[in-house]
Structure 1
Amino acid sequence: MSFIMRTARADDLQTLYEMAKLTGGGFTNLPPDRKALSAKLERTATALSRTGEGIKDELIVLVLENTETGQVRGTCQIFSTVGQSWPFYSYRLGMLTQHSRELARTFRAQMLSLTTDLEGSTEVGGLFLHPRERAEGLGLLLARSRYLYIRGHRPRFGDRIIAELRGVIDEAGGSPFWDGLAGRFFGMSFQEADEFNAVNGNQFIADLMPKTPIYTAMLTDSARAVIGLPHPNGRAAMRMLETEGFINAGYVDIFDGGPTMVGQIDQLKTIAAARDVILSSCHDKGGVKMLVSTGTLADYRCTYGLVIEDEDGAVSLDAASAARLHLETGQSFTMAGWA
């Protein structure tokens, strides 16, 4: 494998823009808008240049690079904390139970309540892998590289972590959930609202969205049917998140109704399984496939490597992976297994 995860640079703009045009819509964190993508890269550069610790409202964009061709073929993002610049809204699915003695019946009504429960969480998102590269476990490399980055910069992140999954989008690029609920209040299509949110943020939700709970029984059948469901292309991502330790806690996206997965950073399997070790030697004779990373901030790099660990604890890494990490004998790196 010749792929490495690294932090994004300003000269990645064109490649990110080309990938954004392949997402098919509803991908708020990767909009096909040069200005918005450039702003993300500027935020990343600012975050990577900060030397102090502590949690701030920062964004880290990571990219997947083929070291043989120099092409960027995937990307993902980490938001250090959400809800600082503007409220972070979600719907929370709940149930209201009422009983009538006269009718001798109990009524249970499912409700959607607008909430900011998830403010302060770290968010991982914006994961996209070029369609031609969806093999060899590269999607897992994209996803798990974020967790090792967080582990290596732990003071910059809180305790809770979330991941919003894209909801169901129809063939025309519309959202049944949006059309059945929010679209009735905003006077714009899902595509228009999603593009506006990606570029300008979601403060307009605070201005226009009704704050009272919504009975799901009052929604259209098509809207109810997709509440809490991921886009078909996102089902594998949902399984990866569940394997990592995220759970579906009943939160859904206010735009497309997709599920928001919730986890605890220190309990994520990648982080719990990770160890810092010293490279004793390099080899070219196989080993156990593991996630390996090195460096901090702008020097962070992550890839798959073949690890051999002897009874005395000496760790050897295949020479190709060590070269991709710019790692030399005697230097430390992080490795994580379990998958």
Structure 2
Amino acid sequence: MTHVIRAATEADLQHLYDMAKSTGGGFTNLPPDRKALTAKLERAATAFAREGDDISDDMFVFMLEDTATGDVRGTCQVFSAVGLKYPFYSYRIGSLTQHSEELGRTFRADILNLSTDMEGCSEVGGLFLHPGERSGGLGMLLARSRYLFIRNHRARFADKTFAELRGVIDEAGGSPFWDGVAGRFFGMNFQDADEFNAKHGNQFIADLMPKHPVYIAMLTEQARAVIGVPHPTGRAAMRMLENEGFAWEKYVDIFDGGPTLSARTDQIRSIKEAADASVVAVDEGVDEHSGAERRLVSVGRMAEFRVAYGWVDQRDEGVAIDPVCAQALGVEPGMTVSHVARW
């Protein structure tokens, strides 16, 4: 069985909608709303078709497809630069230290500061994989395909890239962080605010969110406990990000308090370690028994971009790949591919 990452098309609306209904809430980039998802696909089509090789307000949507059945089993997204149209808000955790000579004590207070520091950065997000497919490296294929796309279209992306991880959601679908912080100012529960943000953007945050720092010690114990903590289903994604060189620099999501991890784009491991090569052969003998290496292989630009796992054999003037990978990607000898080790 072979899976391939490909650009999303308008025909993927039902696939996206079905996945959106399965997320369990708190998944801003994949709202269970046909109108919002249609707008995403239209925006992605515009981005894939844009000819300029510069940074713009682009969003790219990709699908994970089983080549044997045609079933779509996952999705992911890449944003060229956030905050170009509307402000992009995060909370940054800072601290204030004060000393009292009379008491002979020093006090340190942790503070949430509303921030737009991530504006202009690229974002990787919107990753969802059907629960039944969370084995065999498909999550890694989805996640790392985004970095190969960035690498092969580098001029369209910023020098810093970040990822927001979904925060802790309780059994009722609520957010302890939202209830303890923003919910006090907005007059709506987390589900309503998250749905509104997914459909209309977060400009309402700018309109209503208090600009003053929030002292963490004044929050409820439940809210404090989840600051910077990923949703249990996001722990594997966090480990993958950390393996790529992403780090948490005290930024959290303004809705659910989930951690925001970031990295210098050119230092992302998959981008640094990938290489280009000419395909000199498509060879049935290239497999685990021939000394070949299992790698991520990509080909094509923009809407023709595709990624799959394949066996790759390094040869004098290029690489040989196995026929299954070649067929999935539409690769023939003489074409150039990008490839990076599977780890």
TM range (shorter): over 0.9
Q: Which letter maps to 1:169?
A: I
Tell whether the 8 Å contact from 1:26 to 1:191 is kept in structure 2 after alignment: yes
Q: Which residue of 2 aligns with 1:212?
A: 212
Q: Which residue of 1 aligns with 2:177?
A: 177
Matched, 1:230 2:214: no
Q: Which letter maps to 1:275?
A: A
Secondary structure in 2 aligned to 1:94?
strand
CA offsets, 1:250-274, max 9 Å, x none? 0000000000001111101101011
**Separation (CA, whole Å) in 2 of partners of 1:208 and 1:253:** 16
One of 325, 331, 335 as aligned partner of 2:335: 331
Q: Which letter maps to 2:145?
A: S
Q: Which letter maps to 1:322?
A: A
* TM-score under structure 2 length normalisation: 0.97
Aligned-residue CA RMSD (Å) = 0.8
- Post-superposition offset of 1:68: 0.7
Matched, 1:297 2:302: yes
Secondary structure in 2 aligned to 1:284?
coil
Tell whether the 8 Å contact from 1:270 to 1:338 is kept in structure 2 after alignment: no
**Separation (CA, whole Å) in 2 of partners of 1:337 and 1:265:** 18
**Separation (CA, whole Å) in 2 of partners of 1:109 and 1:313:** 60
- Post-superposition offset of 1:300: 0.3
Tell whether the 8 Å contact from 1:112 to 1:214 is kept in structure 2 after alignment: yes
**Separation (CA, whole Å) in 2 of partners of 1:314 and 1:42:** 38
**Separation (CA, whole Å) in 2 of partners of 1:201 and 1:314:** 46
CA offsets, 1:276-295, max 9 Å, x none? 10001112231210010000
Q: Which letter maps to 1:271?
A: I
Tell whether the 8 Å contact from 2:294 to 2:342 is kept in structure 1 after alignment: no
Q: Which residue of 1 aligns with 2:27?
A: 27
Q: Which residue of 2 aligns with 1:151?
A: 151
**Separation (CA, whole Å) in 2 of partners of 1:70 and 1:292:** 20
One of 299, 306, 321 as aligned partner of 2:325: 321
Tell whether the 8 Å contact from 1:269 to 1:338 is kept in structure 2 after alignment: no
Q: Which letter maps to 1:149?
A: F
Percent identity between the aligned chains?
62
Secondary structure in 2 aligned to 1:197?
helix
Alignment: residue pair count: 338
**Separation (CA, whole Å) in 1 of partners of 2:302 and 2:317:** 28
- Post-superposition offset of 1:52: 1.4
**Separation (CA, whole Å) in 1 of partners of 2:175 and 2:154:** 37
- Please show how residues 225-264 of structure 1 align to structure 2 within 5 Å: 225-264=225-264
Tell whether the 8 Å contact from 1:273 to 1:338 is kept in structure 2 after alignment: no
Secondary structure in 1 aligned to 2:166?
coil
Flag structure 1 segments of 5+ consecutive residues without an equivalent: none
* TM-score under structure 1 length normalisation: 0.99
**Separation (CA, whole Å) in 2 of partners of 1:307 and 1:313:** 13
**Separation (CA, whole Å) in 1 of partners of 2:275 and 2:167:** 35
**Separation (CA, whole Å) in 1 of partners of 2:134 and 2:86:** 35
- Please show how residues 2-21 of structure 1 align to structure 2 within 5 Å: 2-21=2-21
- Please show how residues 186-197 of structure 1 align to structure 2 within 5 Å: 186-197=186-197
- Post-superposition offset of 1:338: 5.7
Matched, 1:41 2:41: yes
**Separation (CA, whole Å) in 1 of partners of 2:51 and 2:188:** 43
CA offsets, 1:92-131, max 9 Å, x none? 0111100000110000001000000110000000000011
